[in-house]
């Protein structure tokens, strides 16, 4: 099995061993989680369409990227699970000679605050020159690949809200705006039933945090926002769901409790317990 794993990861490195493919990966990391369409990638790289198709096919064959069709466009995005597994393989290979590490059974991705996790973070930081700010994306919890299309859209909308306000981070309040802004998911329906809409929530958020001075290309999640994402995975598992939807993100916000999103909801007079119970009822009825 170990030999097979080594061959598998050697194939991944071989797929990455091309300057155009590395540039494609850099672009897709910068556009994560929404991804990019072929035309935008081609405009950035200035390479023939046939050549670009060849490189995209190679990356997709190795599951380094994934594609989806929306209307007449094909979107490409990074497969974070494959990248995460690749980095974990490198880290774990480095610890094979350390019996103490094996006995502790530390998973540096799941346990970023252990000694091994801090070493792993340092390793990811060293990869930034290759892939850009990878760490802020890779600390997303295991299971992120199970986020529904609507939940993924919420993340993208949260980033847009951060840009709109000129902030340098995505916090729980931006996630909340993304949930109501998505419009059709379970979370948006539950929030709308409480009399909330994107306009009044934007006003309330701006009252609390104001406007910033500009947004970087790579927008990191705050620790509380990362915790919300982790809790959304946990809530999905607790409810026995095979996906992570907008309702799980909203439950994550409610369970995290200390973020700005909860303060905004409380200031708007929302009954947090009522929202949670409504989500649980809807989950049982499906």
User: 3-state DSSP call for residue 79?
Assistant: coil
Compute the distance between CA of residue 116 and CA of residue 96 in angstroms, rounded to an integer.
13
Compute the distance between CA of residue 147 and CA of residue 170 in angstroms, rounded to an integer.
18
Q: Are 150 and 139 in contact (CB under 8 A)?
A: no
What contacts 135, CB < 8 A, 6 or more positions away? 121, 124, 125, 128
DSSP string, 188-257: HHHHHHTT--HHHHHHHHHHHH---S---SS-PBPHHHHHHHHHHHHHHHHTT-SSB-HHHHHHHHHHH-
Question: Does residue 101 or residue 204 have the better pLDDT?
Answer: 204
pLDDT(124) > 60: no
Q: Are 154 and 246 in contact (CB under 8 A)?
A: yes
Q: Are 151 and 130 in contact (CB under 8 A)?
A: no
The pLDDT, as a whole number, for residue 208 is 80
Q: How confident is the model at residue 265 (pLDDT cuts 50, 70, 90)?
A: confident
User: 3-state DSSP call for residue 65?
Assistant: strand
Instruction: At 120, list the tokens.
Output: 């792993």
- CATH code reported for the domain at 2-78: 1.10.10.10
Determine if the pTM surpasses 0.75.
no
| Domain spans, the chain | 2-78, 81-138, 145-285
Compute the distance between CA of residue 56 and CA of residue 65 in angstroms, rounded to an integer.
8
56-115 confidence digits (pLDDT tens): 999 999 999 999 888 888 999 988 778 777 776 765 554 444 444 333 333 434 444 344
Neighbours of 246 (CB within 10 A): 28
At the second CATH level, the architecture of 145-285 is: Orthogonal Bundle (1.10)
């Amino acid at each position: 099995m170990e030999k097979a794993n080594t061959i598998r990861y050697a194939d991944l490195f071989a797929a990455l061993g091309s300057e155009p493919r590395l540039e494609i990966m850099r672009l897709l990391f910068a556009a994560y989680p929404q991804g990019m369409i072929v035309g935008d990638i081609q405009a950035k790289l200035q390479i023939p369409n046939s050549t670009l198709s060849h490189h995209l096919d190679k990356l997709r064959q190795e599951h380094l990227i994934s594609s989806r069709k929306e209307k007449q466009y094909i979107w490409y995005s990074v497969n974070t699970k494959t990248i995460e597994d690749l980095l974990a393989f490198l880290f774990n290979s480095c610890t094979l000679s350390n019996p103490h590490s094996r006995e502790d059974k530390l998973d540096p991705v799941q346990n970023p605050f252990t000694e091994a996790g801090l070493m792993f973070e340092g390793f990811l930081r060293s990869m930034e020159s290759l892939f850009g700010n990878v760490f802020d994306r890779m600390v997303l919890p295991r299971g992120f690949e199970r986020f529904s299309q609507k939940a993924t859209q919420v993340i993208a909308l949260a980033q847009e809200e951060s840009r709109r306000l000129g902030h340098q981070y995505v916090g729980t309040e931006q996630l909340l705006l993304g949930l109501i802004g998505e419009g059709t998911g379970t979370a948006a329906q539950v929030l709308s039933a409480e009399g909330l809409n994107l306009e009044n929530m934007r006003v309330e958020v701006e009252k609390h945090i104001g406007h910033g001075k500009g947004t970087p290309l790579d927008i990191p999640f705050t620790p509380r926002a990362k915790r919300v994402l982790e809790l959304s995975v946990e809530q999905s598992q607790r409810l026995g769901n095979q996906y992570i939807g907008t309702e799980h993100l909203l439950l994550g916000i409610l369970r995290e409790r200390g973020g700005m999103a909860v303060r905004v909801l409380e200031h708007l007079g929302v009954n947090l317990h009522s929202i949670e119970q409504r989500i649980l009822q809807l989950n049982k009825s499906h």
